[in-house]
Amino acid sequence: MNILLAGGAGYIGSHTAVSLLDAGHDVIIADNFANSSPVAVERVREVSGKPVTCYRADVCDKAAMERIFQENNIDCIVHFAALKGVGESVEIPVAYYRNNIDTTLTLLECMAKFGVRNMVFSSSATVYGDENPIPYAETMRRGSSSHPYGWTKIFMEQIFEDAAKADPNLSVVLLRYFNPIGAHPSGRMGEDPRGVPNNLMPYISQVAVGRREKLTVFGGDYPTPDGTCRRDYLHVMDLAEGHLEAVEYAAAHKGAEAFNLGTGTPYSVLEIIRAFETATGVSIPYAIGDRRAGDLPEFWADASKAERVLCWTAKRDLTEMCRDTWNWQSHNPKGYEE
Ligand code: NAD
Ligand code: UDP
């Protein structure tokens, strides 16, 4: 298939590109590099050994996107293009709503105009909100969010469901990611956040490589086994491979349908620190600090639907997640910046 990856130069998009190319698909990337580097696309070509067409384009720019649809015979879209900073979304909510909703509407309009019927969407566990019991299952209702980023995902899922109801030819797979970490095993591709990392694993790996002094653990008094928050971390290559199954599923089905992509097993912040230290031999200085606003004590996936319907399960364990993160970070201490 010819698969357009909107936002495909980013962390998850670039790893997914490699999985799709390895499986024999052709990949077209459209990215404005708002939160990524063109070097990531070069690394996708290097690691896969395959050509990749790449457009520097804002997915909100309808004329630019129409040109891309015109020039390529697209069978399916994977839509990663979004701003994803929870804290930043509280500071600049309008920019988040504009970008995330607009990319989605532009893609849907292009799909209608060019007769493209299949879409895989990067959704998030955040759509379950804080009212649902854990583990989260797809049968539960979407919740409400404590931040604009989460609301954009909730709204976008709703938009896709409404669009699929109105157009019986449309097929949308809503992939609710849990917490992707890790990197491509080659050490040539990985997560390269701009500025101070918001997420746990990139912060740990930057401490390990000497870019940051110590990790602050956000809260040590949660009602969890060791007092720190628990999340469902999965290897980014497992997540990438989930997109392969989703693309096939989208091609064979109609309507909008959600799938959790997680392992079903939670780990605490302290367990992640210890696993990283054991896997790499590098010690991570840390201090327990205040809770971060909006963090839930714990959540993880009921991952059984993806296994049953998509025949997908996460195969890589926490040791591999830590080892591959370190392989990437230690060989690329400044990320994609040479
Ligand atoms: P990322 O920031 O690395 O990738 C997103 C990409 O989209 C970037 O390359 C960015 O430049 C691009 N982009 C943003 N707005 C654009 C626009 N208007 N036009 C063109 N390109 C644009 O983030 P990621 O971690 O790879 O996440 C990918 C998707 O998965 C996002 O939609 C994110 O919300 C979602 N998600 C991520 C996580 C996570 O923990 N990383 C968890 C759940 C969901
Ligand atoms: N976390 C932390 N210190 C950090 C970054 C994150 O203790 O510098 C914790 C955070 O409170 C949460 C977990 O690590 O409990 C995962 O956070 P992340 O931002 O990676 O993912 P999310 O909040 O989306 O689950």
Catalytic-labelled residue, pool 149, 203, 222, 336 = 149
According to DSSP, the residues that pair with 120 across neighbouring strands are: 78, 173
Of the listed ligands, the closest to the CA of 54 is 1
For ligand 1, the distance from its centroid to the CA atom of residue 100, given in whole angstroms, is 9
pLDDT single digits (tens) 14-40: 999 999 999 999 999 999 999 999 999
pLDDT at residue 108 tops 80: yes
Proportion of the chain above pLDDT 70, given as a percent: 100
Ligand 1, atom 41: closest residue by C-alpha: 180
- Ligand 2 atom nearest to CA at 291: 11
Using CA of residue 234, residue 235, residue 236, residue 238, what is the dihedral sign?
negative
Rounded to 5 degrees, what angle do the CA atoms 277, 283, 285 make? 120
For ligand 1, the distance from its centroid to the CA atom of residue 138, given in whole angstroms, is 22
pLDDT single digits (tens) 190-215: 999 999 999 999 999 999 999 999 99
Of the listed ligands, the closest to the CA of 9 is 1
Structure tokens at 206: 């930057």
Ligand 1, atom 44: closest residue by C-alpha: 124
CA-CA-CA-CA dihedral for 158, 161, 162, 167, to nearest 10: 160
* Mean predicted confidence (pLDDT) in 114-122: 98
For ligand 1, pick from 97, 122, 179 the residue to mutate: most ligand atoms within 8 Å of CB. 122
CB-CB contact of 22 with 48 (8 Å): yes
- Ligand 1 atom nearest to CA at 36: 9
Biggest CA-to-CA distance, the chain: 55
Answer whether 68 contacts ligand 2 (Cβ < 6 A): no
For ligand 2, the distance from its centroid to the CA atom of residue 200, given in whole angstroms, is 5
The amino acid present at 320, given as its one-letter code, is: E
CB-CB contact of 92 with 34 (8 Å): no
pLDDT single digits (tens) 213-264: 999 999 999 999 999 999 999 999 999 999 999 999 999 999 999 999 999 9
**3-class secondary-structure state, position 5:** strand
* Catalytic residue check, 149: yes
Mean pLDDT of the chain: 97
Answer whether 33 contacts ligand 1 (Cβ < 6 A): yes
Using CA of residue 14, residue 294, residue 124, residue 60, what is the dihedral sign?
negative
pLDDT single digits (tens) 153-169: 999 999 999 999 999 99
Instruction: Report how far residue 175's alpha carbon sits from residue 139's, in angstroms, rounded to the nearest whole number.
Output: 14
Answer whether 33 contacts ligand 2 (Cβ < 6 A): no
pLDDT at residue 13 tops 90: yes
Ligand 1, atom 34: closest residue by C-alpha: 84
- Ligand 1 atom nearest to CA at 9: 9
* Mean predicted confidence (pLDDT) in 58-68: 98
Which residue is it, tokens 């059984």?
A: 304
Kind of pairing, strands 267-268 and 179-181? unpaired
Which stretches of the chain are DSSP H helices?
Answer: 11-22, 38-48, 62-71, 86-91, 93-114, 148-166, 200-208, 236-252, 269-280, 304-305, 318-331
pLDDT at residue 291 tops 70: yes
Of the listed ligands, the closest to the CA of 232 is 2
Which residue is it, tokens 């469901």?
A: 161
Q: Which helix (H) or strand (E) holds 2?
A: strand 2-6
Which residue is it, tokens 């390895």?
A: 22
pLDDT at residue 59 tops 80: yes
> Residue 338 — very low, low, confident or very high, per pLDDT cuts 50/70/90?
low
pLDDT single digits (tens) 305-331: 999 999 999 999 999 999 999 999 999
